[in-house]
Amino acid sequence: MRILFLGDIVGRPGRDAVAKHLPDLRRELKTDAVIANGENAAAGFGITEKICNELYAVGVDIITGGNHSWDQREALAFIQDQPKLLRPHNYPQGTPGRGVANYEIGRGRKLLVINVMGRLFMDPLDDPFASVEAVLSSVRLGATTNAILLDFHAEATSEKMAMGHFVDGKVSLCVGTHTHVPTADTMILPGGTAYQTDAGMCGDYDSVIGMDKGVPVQRFRRKLPTDRLSVASGEGTLCGLFVETDDSSGHAISAQPIRRGGKLQATPPLD
Amino acid sequence: MRILFLGDIVGRPGRDAVAKHLPDLRRELKTDAVIANGENAAAGFGITEKICNELYAVGVDIITGGNHSWDQREALAFIQDQPKLLRPHNYPQGTPGRGVANYEIGRGRKLLVINVMGRLFMDPLDDPFASVEAVLSSVRLGATTNAILLDFHAEATSEKMAMGHFVDGKVSLCVGTHTHVPTADTMILPGGTAYQTDAGMCGDYDSVIGMDKGVPVQRFRRKLPTDRLSVASGEGTLCGLFVETDDSSGHAISAQPIRRGGKLQATPPLD
Amino acid sequence: MRILFLGDIVGRPGRDAVAKHLPDLRRELKTDAVIANGENAAAGFGITEKICNELYAVGVDIITGGNHSWDQREALAFIQDQPKLLRPHNYPQGTPGRGVANYEIGRGRKLLVINVMGRLFMDPLDDPFASVEAVLSSVRLGATTNAILLDFHAEATSEKMAMGHFVDGKVSLCVGTHTHVPTADTMILPGGTAYQTDAGMCGDYDSVIGMDKGVPVQRFRRKLPTDRLSVASGEGTLCGLFVETDDSSGHAISAQPIRRGGKLQATPPLD
Amino acid sequence: MRILFLGDIVGRPGRDAVAKHLPDLRRELKTDAVIANGENAAAGFGITEKICNELYAVGVDIITGGNHSWDQREALAFIQDQPKLLRPHNYPQGTPGRGVANYEIGRGRKLLVINVMGRLFMDPLDDPFASVEAVLSSVRLGATTNAILLDFHAEATSEKMAMGHFVDGKVSLCVGTHTHVPTADTMILPGGTAYQTDAGMCGDYDSVIGMDKGVPVQRFRRKLPTDRLSVASGEGTLCGLFVETDDSSGHAISAQPIRRGGKLQATPPLD
Ligand SMILES: [Fe+2]
Ligand SMILES: [Fe+2]
Ligand SMILES: [Fe+2]
Ligand SMILES: [Fe+2]
Ligand SMILES: [Fe+2]
Ligand SMILES: [Fe+2]
Ligand SMILES: [Fe+2]
Ligand SMILES: [Fe+2]
């Protein structure tokens, strides 16, 4: 299976970068499925139903979330009718929406997408390790599903690498989101799971994590109230990674970072 | 000036990777100066005088530190006699050692190295922004010194990007350390400062931030006391970035990530 | 039912204060049950089986714990045979020991003791609110049990007051531990639950939370490694609160702070 | 000198409790000076100039602040003209207002009031220990000033107790604020400094730290956006402590907690 994952889409520059580059990438990479983290798609904070539809229209199949999933309050309602929009699975019981999606690819193939959130330096949700373990206990990679993607939305590199090893061999791809900076550690772990600590944001990198840089710099230097954060307005970079998996084992065959447009150096075309 | 910076050296695999690849890299890149973060060089925790000398012997010119600088208590004493070993400048007044070093390159050229530590999700030292500002107030890039390198040892991408913009145009290179994962956002900021959120560790990447993965995974899953952390024992990757600067302006001309050996994909040779 | 609760017993001064004052207090207050938090009983860090027995011998009936429960590794083993020694109930599934105890008082009366840990500014265990809710779902105050005591081991006053209101009417007494300082807000909440944000430690108050003050002051001022923390050696104060409950409703009739010995002002004798 | 300190005044119930009880207390205690923390006086968030004047009118002489000092943006401007309104002294250089006030009592006596903020579990300001040390380096208790009061606005009991010992003998009174719960550890430290870990709020205690309890409980249980916090509306308790100092040494002679009205048990009248 040919899977493209895109990191946190931040505001208009992020959405524009996806709209501009994703259609070409789908053809170039012959993707079977495109998953993107959308927690910052709406002006940096949350996501609206309109933006979900906009993202589906340009080629995103499944949208994941994170700590910003609910910044747009309407998401608490419309997520109920959006089986392709996930939020972290380890929110408390009773939270609207779901953290796991089954996606049917052509020719009877299936992809399971899981979204969980870390706890180190973050608001404590339920244990992400136990949460993932519970999901995995009822599926078997290469048997009940052909591939499994885990979007681990977390801050600390230690928690993310620990999760990678925890699921090594049991999922096809464990990819981090949330820090808004791509890491250069794309690899296949010993058990066959593709791993990258963070996919990086789709957004303007001449910024502070996608936001106009004036206000954040001021917040760090002075400890006084500031204006609101607003999304930076330069050209965005599409950031993510592409993984090819073996449909019978579910393990990764190859994993490559993908970057297009904006301030970051583009990755070379895959052949 | 041709500057190579190497991220946190973690234990023996990190030291071995530096010893194996640095001599070749010095020739290949015709480096004028090599700076490396050594806070985890001694079995993952701190640094000894013996290891400092070992690193100098294989081609490191200046060693920076971080929150682990003092894990080997002897560092509190020997750092006084080690002008080339830095610790974060924003430790409280009275802390042994120094956070700034002037390094004389051939032909009368000078490089200033600054080491400060972030505060977001870390033990609060003095304000790193004010600390850097104070250092920069008495130097002028391209006049009193030909190049300035800032090692910002910090956790959060937001604080690191904010620092990058804060010093943009005033230092030659602002590079992050501490997360032990290289970021793929090497760029030259609008004001002429080369920037990368994290240089990545020199260490074994089949690990949890350089440490054998069994114990950290257990710590996240169960919340019970575990065995001590020990350094992973596989082949390490040398990780860092190479920046060429203009000696008269002090601004960056080019910036390239460097990776050699171990589990991460090597960067292509520079021509 | 007449219940005496004692806060975190810290080292020898704490144990001595309990040994000295508890026998008299049991008589004076005609207690039916004495519960004490023992997470710091062994030199400030954890608890041993020997100390458990020492505490039972001077009149403690049930011992609760917290984040320091496992500092003495032997507790991981002996807690299995100690039905009267609790650890926070919201440790991950599979943790040794238990977080709930049924205690049989004379004349067929029953007291349920629950121990959970907060998450704000602490290592994230499972959700304490959900954990308490699960326990309470299978009991009914005044029917299946005559009284329920909840030791909420937590840092933040906001989380503790929120827990108080969350269980108001459903437990007899919700008392906080962990900060090692008694609060002066003993009250009966509108639904009938006695509440005090923190019981305060049994320990030497001429200290920093029970530890000799030199090292902690140094840690705050300088950010360097220090000697180990050691328990302060002055006379300890027994600190806790006494609650009388109605056996048929399980609600609190009265609640009074109790302090004896050491540096804090003693509370007046109850009549 | 006879000094009354009142903890964080939270919204209308807090202001009403002060207005109702302070005039009587001034007479009863024959106070020379009344200091109150006002960071939550305006609907729980910050303070306005109008409320400052209201507090002066009912007998408050000096108002201190904390992390909420700037919640009402107008404070950034009017604090410049308010020598009797303090904010933590360890805000970065360039912050409006001041953290130290000299207050002239009758008959040529002087009281110095210092306000600093802690860093443990809080936004990191400059080092509070160094900040206090700097202020104290230019005054001498019992010589340049007759009394010194330190309002240490901090979360953790350990940091507060450490500060108490750090200034023991050098200030007349070290009192904590911020947790909104009074502690029952009023004491005179060995060096002569009166100490209480937290003064407690002036506000409605049938609440979560002064705020209506519905929303906070919901925030802890579910991790979803909620309505805004609003101040609880029941009768407030005036909370604080009263300290008598020796005018020539500056040391404390006696220290007593003071509570009047609302849900907490009143302290007995002093004779
Ligand atoms: Fe994000
Ligand atoms: Fe996020
Ligand atoms: Fe490190
Ligand atoms: Fe570090
Ligand atoms: Fe404790
Ligand atoms: Fe504790
Ligand atoms: Fe407050
Ligand atoms: Fe506060």
- pLDDT tens-digit series, residues B109-148: 999 999 999 999 999 999 999 999 999 999 999 999 999 9
| C65 to C6, C179, C198, D246, D260: CA distances (angstroms) | 12, 13, 14, 43, 35
Following CA atoms B226, B230, B231, B234 in sequence, which dihedral angle do they give, to the nearest 10 degrees?
-80
Concatenated DSSP letters of B162-231: HHHHHTBTTBSEEEEESSSSBBS--EE-TTS-EEES-B--BB-SSSBTTB-SHHHHHHHHS-S--PPP-B
Q: Is B222 on the interface with A (CB under 8 A)?
A: no
Mean pLDDT to the nearest integer, C131-148: 97
Judge whether residue D201 has pLDDT over 90: yes
Judge whether residue B107 has pLDDT over 90: no
Given pLDDT bands bounded at 50, 70 and 90, which one contains residue A103?
A: very high
Given pLDDT bands bounded at 50, 70 and 90, which one contains residue D130?
A: very high
| A81 to A52, A55, B135, C20: CA distances (angstroms) | 12, 16, 56, 65
Residue C134 is encoded by which pair of tokens?
């699960």
Whether D162 sits inside 8 A of C121 (CB atoms) is: no
Q: Which of C15, C25, C24 is nearest to C47 (CA)?
A: C15
User: By CB neighbour count within 10 A (0-12 exposed, 13-18 middle, 19+ buried), where does D249 fall?
Assistant: middle
Inter-chain Cβ pairs, chain A and chain C, closer than 8 A: 14
Between positions 96 and 125 of C, the ones with CB within 8 A of A are 119, 124
Which one has a higher pLDDT value, A270 or A169? A169
Does the annotation list A67 as a binding residue?
yes
Mean pLDDT to the nearest integer, C26-30: 97
Computed over every residue of chain B, the mean pLDDT equals 97
Judge whether residue D271 has pLDDT over 80: no
Q: List the single residue in B with minimal CA-CA distance to A162.
A: B217
d(CA C22, CA C16): 10
Judge whether residue D221 has pLDDT over 90: yes
Mean pLDDT to the nearest integer, D21-32: 97
Q: List the single residue in D with minimal CA-CA distance to C211.
A: D158
Residues of C in contact with D162 (CB under 8 A): 208, 213, 216-217, 219-220
What are the extents of the domains in chain A? 2-260
Query: Which of A71, A92, A123 has the CB atom closest to D221's CB atom?
Result: A92
In this predicted structure, what is the pLDDT of residue D169? Answer: 98
Q: Which of A199, A196, A149 is nearest to A178 (CA)?
A: A199
| D41 to B118, C257, D201: CA distances (angstroms) | 33, 29, 10
Residue D57 is encoded by which pair of tokens?
């009118």
B215-240: per-residue pLDDT in tens? 999 999 999 999 999 999 999 999 99
Mean pLDDT to the nearest integer, D216-240: 95
Distance A4 CA to ligand 2 centre (A): 20
For residue A175, list its beta bridge partners. A151, A196
- Selected for mutation to probe chain A from B155, B185, B213, B219 (highest A CB count within 10 Å) is B185
Distance D225 CA to ligand 2 centre (A): 15
- Selected for mutation to probe chain C from B224, B226, B228 (highest C CB count within 10 Å) is B224
Residues of A in contact with D221 (CB under 8 A): 92
Query: What is the bridge-based pairing of β-strands B187-188 and B194-196?
Result: antiparallel
The residues, any chain, with a CB within 8 Å of residue D134's CB and separated by 6 or more, are none
Residue C245 is encoded by which pair of tokens?
């409950």
Q: Which of A213, A269, A258 is nearest to A4 (CA)?
A: A258
User: Nearest C-alpha of chain A: how many angstroms from C90?
Assistant: 11
User: Is B24 in a helix, a strand, or coil?
Assistant: helix
CA angle A193, A197, A200 (to 5 degrees): 120
The residues, any chain, with a CB within 8 Å of residue A57's CB and separated by 6 or more, are none
CATH number for domain D2-260, candidates 3.40.50.300, 3.60.21.10, 3.40.1260.10, 3.30.2020.30: 3.60.21.10
Distance A205 CA to ligand 2 centre (A): 16
In this predicted structure, what is the pLDDT of residue D259? Answer: 98
Q: How many C-beta atoms lie closer than 10 Å to residue B43's C-beta? A: 17
The residues, any chain, with a CB within 8 Å of residue A147's CB and separated by 6 or more, are A1, A3, A109, A110, A111, A112, A141, A172, A173, A245, A247, A250
Percent of chain D predicted with pLDDT > 70: 100
Residue C87 is encoded by which pair of tokens?
């650890």
Residues of A in contact with C119 (CB under 8 A): 124
Q: Is D188 on the interface with C (CB under 8 A)?
A: no
In this predicted structure, what is the pLDDT of residue A64? Answer: 98
Where on the phi/psi map is residue A210: left (φ > 0), alpha (ψ -120 to 50), or beta?
A: left
In this predicted structure, what is the pLDDT of residue B106? Answer: 82
Inter-chain Cβ pairs, chain B and chain C, closer than 8 A: 34
Q: How many C-beta atoms lie closer than 10 Å to residue A227's C-beta? A: 10
B167-190: per-residue pLDDT in tens? 999 999 999 999 999 999 999 999
Q: List the single residue in D with minimal CA-CA distance to B119.
A: D124
Computed over every residue of chain C, the mean pLDDT equals 97
Given pLDDT bands bounded at 50, 70 and 90, which one contains residue A106?
A: confident
The answer to whether C68 is a known catalytic residue is: yes
In this predicted structure, what is the pLDDT of residue D236? Answer: 98
Whether D217 sits inside 8 A of C187 (CB atoms) is: no
Judge whether residue A271 has pLDDT over 80: no
d(CA A211, CA A230): 6
Judge whether residue C32 has pLDDT over 80: yes
Mean pLDDT to the nearest integer, B43-50: 98
In this predicted structure, what is the pLDDT of residue A120? Answer: 97
The kind and range of the H/E element at D144 are none
User: Is B83 in a helix, a strand, or coil?
Assistant: coil
Residue A132 contacts residue A148 (beta carbons within 8 Å): no
Whether C213 sits inside 8 A of D165 (CB atoms) is: yes
Whether C130 sits inside 8 A of D221 (CB atoms) is: yes
Listed in order, strand segments (DSSP E) in chain D are: 2-6, 33-37, 62-64, 100-104, 110-117, 147-153, 173-177, 187-188, 194-196, 238-245, 252-260
Mean pLDDT to the nearest integer, A241-249: 98
Percent of chain C predicted with pLDDT > 70: 100
Judge whether residue B271 has pLDDT over 80: no
For residue C117, list its beta bridge partners. C153
In this predicted structure, what is the pLDDT of residue D97? Answer: 98
Q: How many C-beta atoms lie closer than 10 Å to residue C45's C-beta? A: 17
Residues of B in contact with A220 (CB under 8 A): 129, 159, 162-163, 166
Residue C129 is encoded by which pair of tokens?
């609110």
Residues in chain A, total: 271
In this predicted structure, what is the pLDDT of residue D106? Answer: 82
A204-233: per-residue pLDDT in tens? 999 999 999 999 999 999 999 999 999 999
Inter-chain Cβ pairs, chain C and chain D, closer than 8 A: 120
A13-60: per-residue pLDDT in tens? 999 999 999 999 999 999 999 999 999 999 999 999 999 999 999 999
Query: Which of C95, C221, C224 has the CB atom closest to B222's CB atom?
Result: C95
d(CA B157, CA A203): 14
Judge whether residue C271 has pLDDT over 90: no
Query: Which of C125, C223, C225 has the CB atom closest to B91's CB atom?
Result: C223
- Selected for mutation to probe chain A from B153, B159, B197 (highest A CB count within 10 Å) is B197
Residue B173 is encoded by which pair of tokens?
């290179």
Whether B76 sits inside 8 A of C225 (CB atoms) is: yes
Active site residues of A: 68
Query: Which of B91, B95, B221 has the CB atom closest to C92's CB atom?
Result: B221
In this predicted structure, what is the pLDDT of residue A270? Answer: 81
d(CA B96, CA C224): 10
In this predicted structure, what is the pLDDT of residue A156? Answer: 98
Computed over every residue of chain D, the mean pLDDT equals 97
Mean pLDDT to the nearest integer, C163-176: 98
In this predicted structure, what is the pLDDT of residue A107? Answer: 86
The kind and range of the H/E element at D165 are helix D157-166
Query: Which of C71, C76, C222 has the CB atom closest to B92's CB atom?
Result: C222
Whether A185 sits inside 8 A of B179 (CB atoms) is: no
Between positions 28 and 67 of A, the ones with CB within 8 A of D are none
Residues of B forming the annotated binding site for Fe cation?
8, 39-40, 67, 153, 178, 180
Distance C7 CA to ligand 5 centre (A): 8
Distance A232 CA to ligand 5 centre (A): 46
